[in-house]
A and B are shown apart, each in its own frame.
Chain A
Amino acid sequence: MARTLSAPVTVAFDYTRSTGPVVGRFLTGLRDGVVVAGRTSDGRVVVPPPEFDPITHEALTDFVEVAATGTVSSWTWVPEPVKGQPLDHPFAFALVTLDGADTPFLHALHVTSPDEVSTGMRVQVRWRGERTGAVTDIEAFVPLADEDSASPAGGGLLEDHLVTGVVTPVELDYLYAASPEESAFYRGLAEGKILGQRCPACHKVYVPPRSACPVDGVATTEEVELSEVGTITTFCIVNVPFLGQKIKPPYVSAYVLLDGADIAILHLILDIPADEVRMGMRVKAVWKPREEWGTTIENISHFSPTGDPDADYDTYKQHL
């Protein structure tokens, strides 16, 4: 058995960015089939145009169009492409100095073997059919076999429809591992047990267990099985719907201090009208049917009132 439990996790987010006038002009050009460069104070033509001059630090305003053909100034083979790269089979990344520019531009070069690439080779842009104003409007560079066959630039920039924003989806895949202590907690839940750990210095019992006591900074080692009965220390009534919500509002989310624990766990309170839930109320874990259990806190469906008298405030005031 592996020491820790792990599961795949994908973190995804669409970054929405405003482009400003310089990057916006470059991306507008790509949308319209034109590569826009900037002329810097030292007379160099730079692709993509920098927002500010590297020497004078003035805002860059001198734009020029350069060709969609150019020369490879450096390249590297990509034997195992990663998700999101311009091509999903082995290809080359290249620095390409476009005709009319003085500095190279980074993009993919669509070839099928490193034998087909060399520094100094001539290439041209392969435009995407449907373009939106993004660097991916260039699908890739491709070898230019015949100078006369070079695809001309597009129809020119549409000045009155400048690109002002760009959305970049980011998606990252992980194999996320729980700590050994968290793994023990989840494995305990799969057997119907709630496990915590005691700090050897301050003797506080943490549930879920942590790798170190946050008070003392020492590893917690002694395993403690906790009661499934506890006290509501504080709670909130959820009235607002949100994306991914599994229960119809209103419902109660509460901190439950299990008997024998020194830190409350967050869980759901059901089997009682939301407006009757109160601090100090005694509650008990309600488990799902055993055949539905896994290594997850969701084995406990919710907490339900025991009907016992409320706990004295003094018994949980240290835990608020």
Chain B
Amino acid sequence: MRDVAVVGFAQRQMEEFDGSPTCVELLVPLFEECYEQTGWTRKDVGFWCSGSSDYLAGRSFSFVQAVDAIGVIPPVNESHVEMDLAWALYEAWLKIQTGEVDTALVYAFGKSSAGVLRRTLALQLEPYTMTPLWPDTVSLAGLQARVGLDAGAWDERAMAEVVNRSLTAAEKNEYAVRKGGSSVEELLARPLYADPLRKHDCAPVTDGAAAIVLAAGDKAREVCDRPAWISGLAHYVDPMSMGTRDLTRSPSAERAAAAAGTAGVEVAELHAPFSHQELILRRELGLGDDVAINPSGGALSGNPMFSAGGIRIGEAAKKIWSGEAGRTLGHATSGPALQQNLVCVLDAEQKGA
């Protein structure tokens, strides 16, 4: 295997982007930040991969328009996934493993506010027996939260603790769209919204974009003092049906964590768009009380569709670059109620081929 590191990261998050859902305007400055971090120009990028969805944009081929932000004459080596940035990163990592390229820039964008996000996401469900009922994202998460509450797997106090810690941490994150902790008591005094969920248990609808730069071996060392080496990267998927899996567990997250190797992780950025999902993930990823969870504030403070999972990897990389941690983890999820999960473990030490 080739040693590949995260060497660049840029993001934007906002409640409502006053611009086109193609997001070219958001992406140009993000790429400029990545060029500044690496000293590269676009010609130094061997492979590009984006994550986005036309259902979110409300137009066809929005990802084709987005390549304007790259500048594609002469043509570039480019791909796209209808998935979160973290899976675009996975494809780029594989591309680098093939030896065809040494560097990659992956990016994602989405204007969630253009439509009704929780409704639009019903289109990712099984199309015969689920989508015709338009089960919205919040409802599916609510069903999952209730199963855990009834089973005693967690309680509403534990959920409120997740929220309070996240919104307190988010105060230091300039990109967070929801921030400001209070107390568990104050949070629990707020009314239920989608019983059993309160509004603060659900990630805010967020617009945004993000970009991550990958480089192999010497290329990474050339541009970064402390590259965040990818020591483990894996993703798995559970059945889509809400009826045939134990909603208090996430076997796909557990398998991804086992494959990536999470021992010794000091900081974990978890993509949990609903408070109880962080509790599931901490268990499945085997993260003890000594692991710092979501110092960025996590998805409860901002959840730009298609970027939020990748942003977790970017935030985890920043902790390596700054020297604050030697081993960190970024997690991304996709699908209803934690159906699909990706775990990326980053190390300050290069393991060596």
Residues of A within 8 A of B (CB): 2-4, 9, 11, 15, 17, 19, 23, 26-27, 46-48, 50, 54, 73-79, 82-86, 93-95, 103-108, 114, 119, 134-136, 166, 168, 170, 172-180, 182, 210-219
Contact = CB atoms under 8 A, between A and B. Distances in A.
5 contacts: A74-B144, A173-B116, A211-B24, A214-B71, A217-B69
Contacts of B136: 78, 82, 85
A247 to B, nearest CB: 24
A82 B116 contact: yes
Interface string B133-145: 1111011111111
Given A179-B24, A179-B25, A85 B133 contact: yes
Interface stretch (B117-125, B218-226, B298-306): B117-125
Contact of B24 (A210, A215, A216): A210
Nearest to B58: A174
Question: In which size bucket is the chain B interface?
Answer: 35 or more
Nearest to B26: A211
Contact of B28 (A15, A134, A212): A212
A214 B73 contact: yes
A279 B247 CA distance: 64
A182 B65 CA distance: 13
Contact of A78 (B120, B130, B139): B139
Nearest to A85: B134
B67 interface: yes
Interface stretch (B15-23, B89-97, B164-172): B15-23
Contacts of B140: 76, 93
A59 to B, nearest CB: 16
B147 interface: yes
- Top 4 nearest A-B pairs by Cβ distance? A217-B71, A76-B142, A174-B58, A179-B20
Contacts of B186: none
B190 to A, nearest CB: 14
A168 B55 contact: no
Nearest to B113: A175
A107 B128 CA distance: 13
Nearest to A105: B243
Contacts of A46: 243-244
Given A176-B59, A211-B24, A76 B143 contact: yes
Interface in B49-92: 55, 58-59, 67-73
B67 to A, nearest CB: 7
Interface in B14-40: 18-22, 24-25, 27-28, 31
A222 B20 CA distance: 19
A246 B115 CA distance: 29
Nearest to B42: A217
Contacts of A93: 133, 135, 139-140, 142-143
Contact of A217 (B25, B68, B141): B68
B197 to A, nearest CB: 7
Nearest to A176: B58
Nearest to B70: A217
A106 B71 contact: no
B131 interface: yes
A112 B193 CA distance: 15
Contacts of B118: 82
B128 to A, nearest CB: 5
Interface string B189-225: 0001111110000000000000000000000000000
Contacts of A77: 142, 192, 194-195
Contacts of A26: 129
A215 B73 CA distance: 5
Contacts of B127: 15, 17, 168
A78 B134 CA distance: 12
A177 B111 CA distance: 10
A212 B24 CA distance: 7
B237 to A, nearest CB: 13
A83 B130 CA distance: 15
B130 A106 contact: yes
Contact of A74 (B31, B55, B115, B247): B247
Contacts of A174: 21, 58, 114-115
Given A23-B128, A106-B243, A180-B19, A218 B119 contact: no
A219 B8 CA distance: 21
A105 B150 CA distance: 18
A73 B150 CA distance: 9
A46 B239 CA distance: 13
